[in-house]
Amino acid sequence: MILICTHEVAGPTGYHKSVVQLANGLQAAGYPVAVLGFLGGPGVADRMLPLWPLDNGVPAFTLRSLPADGGKLLHRNVHAELSGNLGALRYAFTANQLAALRQLNESLSAEDTIIFTAPLQPLVFQHALGDDQRRPGTVLQIHGDYLHHDELWEPLQASRGMIDRLQTVADGLRKQFIPLFDESDVVFIPNFPGEGSAMVQRTDREGVNIALPASYQHRKNQLDAVRALSLIQDETVHLTLWGSINPRNPYYVAVRDLVESLDLTERVHMPGFGTEQDVYASADIVLMTSLSEGFPYPLLEAMYQARPTVSYDFDFGPREAIEDGASGYIVPLGDVEQLAARLAELAADASLRDRFGHRARERFDQHFAPAAVTGQYRRLLGPLGEPIDLARVFATDGIEPIRVDQISHQVKHTGGRRAHRVTVDSPVRLYDVQVDGEEHAVNATVQVRRGATLIQFEGDGPLVLSYTTSPGSADRHYLASITAAHGLEAAAHLRRDARYGAGLPSVQDTVFATAGGTRSLGGVSALTRLARRAPRDVSWKVRQVSSTAVARRRARKELAGSTGAARLTPSAHPTDTTEPAAPLPPKEPSSAAQASASAAQDPPSGPADAGTAPVGTVPTRRLIPSPLARLGSSTASSAVRVLGTMAKAPAARTRREIPRHPWFPITAGTDSFGTPINQVGGVQVQNSGSAERPTVSIRGEYDWVLLRDGASQRRIQPPFSYGEFFDRICAAERDHGLFDITTRDGVHVWELGRSALIIQLAEAFGYWGAAGAVGTPVKDIYHGSKRLTTAPAAKRVVFDYVRRGQSGYRTAAFRDEETLFVVQPDTDGYPEVNDTDLVVPFHEYYLWRQSPGRRFEQLRIPDVDARPFEEAISDALGIRVDLGDHLRNRLVKFLDEREFFTPVFERVGPQEVLIASSHWWAGIAAAAARSGAVVSDIQYALTSRYAPSFWFGGTPHHGASRFYAWSDFWAERTNVYQEHVVVPRQQSELSIGGEGDPSVVPAWDVCIISQPRVLRRILAFAADLVGERPDLRVVIAPHPAQRTIIDDELAAAGLSDHIAVARDDTLATIRQSEICVGTFSTSMWEAAALGRPTYVIPVPGHEETLQDVAGGLFRLAHSPHDLVPFAVPDSRREIFGAG
């Protein structure tokens, strides 16, 4: 067996990536592999879900939670027994962790190998073993320069006896370790290449893009990259700096300021962390400006992706990877002018880039491909060996005498001390009770009263309580902890009965609505909290702007002191190390694209010549005002906003949460599309919950997702189809009368959030993906004079639909001289408000909602008792439903709309108010009804038996009573309205069947009609289509919300060369196609109305089409071979009222 040791399993650096790729590569070679994380954050699951996908066949463990000696030392798994610092690296290991290393040694044999990836690991292993004999073989993998880094060299020397052989990732590193090791025991094997098994397709973009993937730190030297770009006159050449961003990182600030001072903001892009797909989809040239490295991954990735590389001649890597003048260019360190010249030469010659890229790939295949690297590892590691089940090695008997629910706690403050009383309500007798602090034990008194044990003591946390069940026994059990915040915690990972679902209450499979927005604060308590918080908030603000000022000063020092890399060549004692930094980073990022920059350090600036301007820079730079100068006004504004801040509930997206094993965090997984978890656009998984209630949160579009932890692999999937889910919701609404439950003020609160809730729960179950970033963000910006509160009188008022493309037809029939239109913002603000006096913007309402007075009123709105709704829906779905503050948020929105628009309607005096999608604007409907107007709904999308906004399990009270439908065809598919009026769509393309000119030859064999929430399933079908029927001409008609992202999505799916993107609107594309295929988009019915054979991909939500599948209007497409022409029935002429 091969056990790979790492500081953290997850992290944003090349070190972390190399660990994952090493595990994956050896697993693919047939070796039984496991990964063990030594360090991490305060929680046992922190830093355990890698940014790069770990193979599902590789179990990963954390030393922080493994129960040694059958769990008998778990009570000693809080306070450190061994701690210290190695440079910036802080480490601490408990008695349980050291015992776990001894137990691990005993479970391995000479046939097994431990691969250490940093010198701290063999040093700790050596300390743990003491006089015990080491059983397995060992290899230390070297990732960078040790000779000039005492914090690496010294622990290496100290642990020399624990290391059999060294493996360097760059050939130039070998000589550092000879003669400390025999030359034959120091071998060079490059890193396994990156996670992608397929070439990343370039997306079509104008100009040439230079990519530099690296964390923002002094050693990576992005400043020279920016300076080089400033010397390239061709403005179509751009630079993308990929790397995790911390806004307070002085080096990042220095780079950003240099970009601004050189007026390069339009040419330099800093998008944050990027996967290989992100980086190489847009990269034409790869650039490396580092001062020193081990063997940076971008050199490998660029070769694999056939991209030419321009690199400084640093130690170590460029000369191993780049064939100078054939696959890229190597430039003397610090020569910015030559760097710019080489980049400009490649940027100007596409054929040269292609030739260099082709040679780079040849070089990769010869020396760095997985097969070549695997062969070298086989020679190093020998035979494959046998697997060892480490979960079984560290098993316990699963028995704890005291249940968590039998433990309670009280704390009192007396005379400046905290007195704790822990009560154990159990007949089990507790002996030898101990209360252990970080440095010494705390005296405690123990009493038994009426079958309960009382433990009393004084002290501040963290404290650990333990006991035995018989006098003098060495078998000690963990009871509970007192945290640093002085509360009681029964950490699940410290109990021998740790299991899936552990916690109080026990963790259940749960779906959550979104959380966030405002929350209720009682008047007196709110003011009390304000008084308590104000001094702390002001002092926090001082600290915040002070730290920002420090970052600015350091950034200026970087810019002033860094005059090109020529003056930054590594000294005898470089300031940076390629080994990982401090093991106490921010929280685990929710996704790879959002990973935080925890690895960037703050090294001292290099030497500089006073008065010398950096190469390629402008001598002067814009002055940036000190944040401290704005402290007074900022503090005053903060005081005004304190209540608003207090009113904000923590934001959380809709998700599904399942139990997590307390000892074994999730470390890998794959979804039903074959995509590893936590990749951009895929299923997002987090180790969540708390030490007492560990959970796993899941969100994204999937049929199933396979989750891997150290003990098992679990397959998670929705419990039923979308259709059954919707039917169960409607049944619960009927059976429990949810539409009739009101607040104390008579508001029927369920209907306010019902439509949104169904969509959210559908997302939580994995039926649909989130549609959070729908198209280009709108701009609620308006500087004109029009106001809702001064709007003119009108016979009708129409609230227009939020435009997302070709949607003007929805309200076109209502435009006349007697109708006032209230319009929503779009991507350009409110461009149409000046068309006539009868168009006013929504802007005033949005401003009013955010005003301090209104925000204070929002605080006074009481909470909504969600329990009857949660119980009804949970019972119907057979899974726990947590609505959080969803219903209260909808109530706040409803009351805001009703309060604002009631006087507006009283002034305008309409006879009718028409709202596109009225159930999403129930407060406006209620205000209109108050003013005596008829409230009507304008059809904006398809209606069906399964549409969340058009089919209800009860009778709504606050919405519209009249429905303006496109035809009777649609009006019959909703049970919401008392009456309907037919207003045919005003689109000539749909008139009289829309057959079009029969002489026109269709441009496309198949048109794929896209839909945002099920895009992954649509692209999966599209991949099968072009794979199984490559002769077809296929085009995809993107939903308007997808227009800006569809090229990237096709590239990520490897479909760019096989599927065209429609440049015309969807209707025009349908008319140019022989057959259409899609899901539950309104455009499906448009295709049928135009006489096109239309097929439905059976994705969640396709139930909306089944009535028309049964009627012959559509057919189901279970596979690409189902797509054959058929005669569309004449019922198509009834769809849009034009027949």
pLDDT (average), residues 735-754: 96
Q: Which two tokens stand for residue 60?
A: 């990963």
State the Cα–Cα distance between residues 143 and 293, nearest whole angstrom.
Answer: 8
The SS3 of residue 641 is helix
Closest among 715, 691, 707 to 45, alpha carbons compared:
691
| Structural contact between residues 310 and 285, judged by C-beta atoms closer than 8 angstroms | yes
**Residue 155 predicted with pLDDT over 50:** yes
**Residue 140 predicted with pLDDT over 90:** yes
Q: Which two tokens stand for residue 61?
A: 């463990």
Q: Which two tokens stand for residue 319?
A: 């000369």
Burial of residue 94 (CB within 10 Å: 0-12, 13-18, 19+) is: buried
Higher pLDDT, residue 13 or 929: 929
Closest among 715, 706, 714, 703 to 669, alpha carbons compared:
706
Closest among 8, 9, 12 to 592, alpha carbons compared:
12
| Structural contact between residues 530 and 643, judged by C-beta atoms closer than 8 angstroms | yes
Closest among 262, 301, 308 to 287, alpha carbons compared:
308
Side chain identity, residue 789: T
| Structural contact between residues 317 and 212, judged by C-beta atoms closer than 8 angstroms | no
Higher pLDDT, residue 646 or 717: 717
Could you read off the pLDDT of 406-439 as tens digits, one per residue? 999 999 988 888 999 999 999 999 999 999 999 8
Could you read off the pLDDT of 53-69 as tens digits, one per residue? 999 999 999 999 999 99
State the Cα–Cα distance between residues 428 and 289, nearest whole angstrom.
Answer: 66
State the Cα–Cα distance between residues 712 and 262, nearest whole angstrom.
Answer: 54
For position 198, what pLDDT does the model report? 72
**Residue 540 predicted with pLDDT over 90:** no
State the Cα–Cα distance between residues 265 and 272, nearest whole angstrom.
Answer: 15
* Inter-helix orientation angle 852-860/886-908, to 10°: 130
Q: Which two tokens stand for residue 1008?
A: 């794929």
For the chain, counts of helices (H) and of strands (E): 29, 45
Could you read off the pLDDT of 750-770 as tens digits, one per residue? 999 999 999 999 999 999 998
**Residue 589 predicted with pLDDT over 50:** no
Closest among 840, 847, 844, 887 to 867, alpha carbons compared:
887
State the Cα–Cα distance between residues 689 and 5, nearest whole angstrom.
Answer: 26
991-1134 folds as Rossmann fold (3.40.50)
Domain 404-490 sits in CATH at 2.60.40.1850
E strand map for 786-865: 796-799, 819-823, 839-841
Q: What is the phi/psi pair of residue 275, to 5°? A: -75, 175
Could you read off the pLDDT of 1092-1106 as tens digits, one per residue? 999 999 999 999 999
CA distances, 647 to each of 187, 519, 534, 576, 858 (Å): 60, 5, 14, 44, 8
Evaluate the omega torsion of the peptide bond into residue 462 and state whether it is cis, within 30 degrees of 0: yes
The residues spanned by each domain of the chain are 2-188, 200-365+528-587, 404-490, 728-767+778-982, 991-1134
Which H or E run contains 1004?
strand 1004-1009
CATH architecture of the domain formed by 2-188: 3-Layer(aba) Sandwich (3.40)
pLDDT (average), residues 19-41: 96
For position 637, what pLDDT does the model report? 46
| Structural contact between residues 513 and 760, judged by C-beta atoms closer than 8 angstroms | yes
Look at the block and give the residue holding tokens 């320069």. 145
pLDDT (average), residues 907-928: 94
Domains 2-188 and 200-365+528-587 share a fold: yes
State the Cα–Cα distance between residues 5 and 24, nearest whole angstrom.
Answer: 14
Side chain identity, residue 354: D
pLDDT (average), residues 837-858: 93
Q: Which residues pair with 821 in a beta bridge?
A: 798, 839
Q: Which two tokens stand for residue 163?
A: 């290391």
Closest among 218, 220, 224 to 339, alpha carbons compared:
224
Lowest mean pLDDT among 159-173, 317-331, 805-819, 920-934: 805-819
**Residue 8 predicted with pLDDT over 60:** yes
State the Cα–Cα distance between residues 459 and 437, nearest whole angstrom.
Answer: 9
For position 170, what pLDDT does the model report? 92
For residue 577, what pLDDT band results from cuts at 50, 70 and 90? very low
For position 835, what pLDDT does the model report? 72
Query: What strand order describes the sheet that includes 684-689?
Result: 684-689, 694-699, 655-659, 510-512, 880-882
| Structural contact between residues 1081 and 1042, judged by C-beta atoms closer than 8 angstroms | no
pLDDT (average), residues 250-264: 96
Domain 200-365+528-587 sits in CATH at 3.40.50.2000
For position 528, what pLDDT does the model report? 52
Lowest mean pLDDT among 14-18, 570-574, 892-896, 991-995: 570-574
State the Cα–Cα distance between residues 971 and 979, nearest whole angstrom.
Answer: 9
For position 533, what pLDDT does the model report? 54
- DSSP tag of 791: P
Query: What strand order describes the sheet that includes 488-489?
Result: 441-442, 431-436, 463-468, 477-482, 488-489
Outline where 972-1064 has alpha helix (H): 1015-1028, 1046-1052
**Angle (nearest 5°) at CA 825 between 821 and 829:** 115
For position 1001, what pLDDT does the model report? 78
**Angle (nearest 5°) at CA 662 between 659 and 664:** 95
Task: Tell me which range, 506-520, 565-579, 627-641, 696-710, is most confidently predicted by mean pLDDT.
Answer: 696-710
According to DSSP, the β-strands at 934-938 and 962-965 are parallel
Q: Which two tokens stand for residue 466?
A: 């333990």
State the Cα–Cα distance between residues 272 and 908, nearest whole angstrom.
Answer: 49
Q: Which residues pair with 421 in a beta bridge?
A: 410, 456
Could you read off the pLDDT of 667-690 as tens digits, one per residue? 999 999 999 999 888 899 999 999
Which H or E run contains 1085?
helix 1082-1089
Kindly report the number of other CB atoms within 10 A of residue 804's CB atom: 18
**Residue 733 predicted with pLDDT over 60:** yes
pLDDT (average), residues 320-342: 96
Q: Which two tokens stand for residue 424?
A: 């154990």
Look at the block and give the residue holding tokens 């929002």. 858
For residue 611, what pLDDT band results from cuts at 50, 70 and 90? very low
